[in-house]
Amino acid sequence: MSDISDITSKRRRHATMGNNQLLTETELQALYQRARSATADASLQNLLEQRQAGDVASRYRGAGLDYAESRPYQPGDEPRFIHWSVTARTGKPHVKQFREERRPAVFIVLDRRNAMRFGTKVRLKAAQAARVAALVAFAATQQSWAVSGVILETQPHWFPASTDTHAVWEFVRQCAATCPPLLTTHEPTLASILPLINASVVRGTHVYLLSDFTDLDAECEAHILQLLHHHPLFTVQVLDTAECELPAAGRVNLQGLDGVTHRVNLADPTLREQFSQQAAALHNEQAQRLRGWGCHYTQLLTDVDAPELAVPLPHGMGT
């Protein structure tokens, strides 16, 4: 019996609905209203809390407005920051340090590669991930957080940080754009994108990784740990129900991502049970790895209609 990755590739198919928009304008408007409701309801347990909705105090030292501490003068320090009272008391020049202000921000990684362009019932995995991206972006906008991100496909599309509502809506519409099967096998890996994120976003940015994590490997670990050193990291693993449990559909021909057609007897209870066990083991291992590294982890199936109840959304708490 082949392992779970082999079985998954044998029964994977691309739904014809991939030729349509992942989300209609009406669906996006509904998600916008749901994000507003979620951020307005402080009783929800899955909200990402911040001290206030605008600029917030950061643990990083800088030239902000709030005095933090004094330290001995060093060559190159600006004379205007000299702390005269401490200098007079100690007899040695000291300068003031300030707590730097940083605007809360989110960075969204939306995986739209081939493996995400699969779905068996309600929607494609890419569509569910796009719904989460929309909820996160809309919730961040409601709290005046900056939004940036990257859409991961054959040619990754980067979205610069913005608090402009119209710009964020454009990003969300790109996330929800048509998502047909890809003809090329040349795709960027998750490991190749992660270090670019760390280099492009401001420290303290809340990073959301929305993917099925099919290529989560040892190379990813070092980059994720580096990201976690500077940013809160929220991982949402989007899975189709057929990736967890095979339907009793009898003998079927399934075409894998490699283009090869396989004859599989889904009526075999032994096959289905073995598949379920291997799938659970694989997904539990991936969840344990991400949690063990320090990520917030959520598993989200494609048929879940209210992802905002499972995924933490940005929420600015007033002081």
Instruction: List residues bridging with 251 in a β-sheet.
Output: 265
User: Could you give the angle at the alpha carbon of 123 between the alpha carbons of 110 and 14, nearest 5°?
Assistant: 85
> With a threshold of 0.85, does the pTM exceed it?
no
174-223 pLDDT, tens digit each: 999 998 887 767 889 999 999 999 888 888 899 999 999 999 999 999 99
- Determine whether 138 is exposed, middle or buried from the number of CB atoms within 10 Å of its CB (0-12, 13-18, 19+): buried
What does the pLDDT read at residue 228? Answer: 94
| Domains, the chain, with CATH or none | 4-52+103-316 (3.40.50.410), 59-101 (no CATH)
Cα torsion angle, 285, 288, 293, 294, sign: positive
What does the pLDDT read at residue 66? Answer: 60
Nearest to 117 by CA among 18, 192, 204: 18
Residue 109: partners with Cβ closer than 8 Å, 6 or more residues away: 149, 150, 152, 193, 197, 207, 208, 209, 210, 211
Residue segments in the chain with a per-residue pLDDT below the cut of 50: 1-18, 43, 45, 47, 49-64, 317-319
Give the chain's count of helices (H) and strands (E): 8, 13
